[in-house]
Chain A
Amino acid sequence: MSGRHTGQPHTHTVEGTDPQLYVGVHEPESDSGLRPVLLLHGFSSSAKLNWEDTGWITALLEAGRRVITVDLPGHGRSGAPEDMDSYSPSRIRADLLQIAFDAGVRPLRDGDPSSGLDLIGYSLGSRLAWEFGATQHELVHRMVLGGPNVADPLADFDLVAAQRYLADGTPITDASTAGLLKLAQMLPSNNIFSLLSLVEAIKGEPFDPAEAVPHMPMLLVAGEKDERAASMPDLAALGAKSGAMVEQLVLPGRNHTNAITSRAFKQGAISFLGV
């Protein structure tokens, strides 16, 4: 990967504490002159798994885009802070704003294609992107939201059952909780306890897409067999109702796990953001 990593966790303090987020900045060989693209990965994934190994960073660099990646707290190469506040979606959005500015992103200016920021999110990253776009309309130019959902599946996560399972192996009855925990435990780079902190913080700030709706153009993408993104049309309707231009792309035969490598997804996103 031809990227330049900052080499250490992000150390700019926000609200007085260090979020310990690992930021990667990847420069294209020939720059298209377009604004950078910030990539937000999903729950129990990482910038590497969600964007690098799947070919996204290479594809975006080849399209001449400057790419910024960040590992969410407790994920990938980011730290796993002990305080619950570091995991709240509102705090993460504040950290993302700081990261964007530190990477040289500046507010949108008419007629300047290098100004502002494009966002691509997947799953939990799409929720964060939706909220970020809604509150940062002077910064975000366009967004691509993969595997999106009107409600956050993590909000229904049975934390008590998960903790009991981790403590003594008591089986988890809720299938969604069991599935998410299994996913979280698969990756050695995950800090399982900080992931549970993230879940707890999300339960404290559940996703309410109607509360703040982004107005910039959006492309919503999901696999045809993605049950977690079954409500994508509702999200699209919400955006359209408030005046945003919303396009939808359904990937035949793909599910929530394997939609991410799809070439149609990448090409759709690159062309949607290439203006």
Chain B
Amino acid sequence: MAEISFPLPDLGEGLIEATVLEWLVAPGDQVERNQPLVEVETTKSAVELPSPQAGKVVRIHGGPGDKINVGEPLIVLEVPDNTAGIVGTVPKEEAPKRRVRLSAVLDED
């Protein structure tokens, strides 16, 4: 297993910080990719941040009312080694399947 720390992402439009409103997950929770992690508020709006990856929550940073700067740690997830940091999906090793059969009369000249 490997731990990956995810920082507060760039929320766009020049925002440099956000205030935690409410955590929707707690350490020990298993989260799926895109599952809502936390509600945060910026000077412009409130947003719900989805999980960038599936994994188990190890640590969360900041309680309700705390300010976090963009780029500072937000959450640490524990993920299996072979998926750590990867873009894309680990292919499954499957038994080969076929629909086509070969037919040939082979002359051995």
A4 at interface by CB-CB < 8 Å: no
Is B13's CB under 8 angstroms from A261's CB? no
Number of contacting residues on A, CB 8 A?
18
Is A258's CB under 8 angstroms from B41's CB? yes
Is A257's CB under 8 angstroms from B46's CB? yes
- Expressed in whole angstroms, the minimum distance between the Cβ of A268 and any Cβ of chain B is 15
Number of A-B contacts (CB under 8 A): 48
Is B48's CB under 8 angstroms from A261's CB? yes
Tell me which residues across on chain A come within 8 A of B13, comparing CB atoms. 186-188
Contact for B21 among A45, A53, A188, A258, CB less than 8 A: A258
Contact for B45 among A53, A253, A254, CB less than 8 A: A53
Is B44's CB under 8 angstroms from A187's CB? yes
User: Considering only CB atoms, which chain A residue lies closest to B65 in the complex?
Assistant: A253
Number of contacting residues on B, CB 8 A?
16
Interface string of A252-275 (1 = CB under 8 A from B): 011001111111000000000000
Is A260's CB under 8 angstroms from B22's CB? no
Is B48's CB under 8 angstroms from A54's CB? yes
B39 at interface by CB-CB < 8 Å: yes
Is chain A's binding surface mostly helix, strand, loop or mixed?
loop
B36 at interface by CB-CB < 8 Å: yes
Is A186's CB under 8 angstroms from B48's CB? no
A49 at interface by CB-CB < 8 Å: yes
A55 at interface by CB-CB < 8 Å: yes
Interface string of A49-93 (1 = CB under 8 A from B): 100011100100000000000000000000000000000000000
Is B36's CB under 8 angstroms from A55's CB? yes
Tell me which residues across on chain B come within 8 A of A254, comparing CB atoms. 21
Seen from chain B, the residues whose Cβ lies within 8 Å of a Cβ on chain A are 13, 21-22, 24, 34, 36, 39, 41, 43-48, 50, 64
Q: List 18 A-B contacts (CB under 8 A).
A: A45-B45, A49-B44, A53-B45, A53-B47, A54-B45, A54-B46, A54-B47, A54-B48, A55-B50, A186-B13, A187-B13, A257-B45, A258-B39, A258-B46, A261-B39, A261-B48, A262-B22, A263-B39
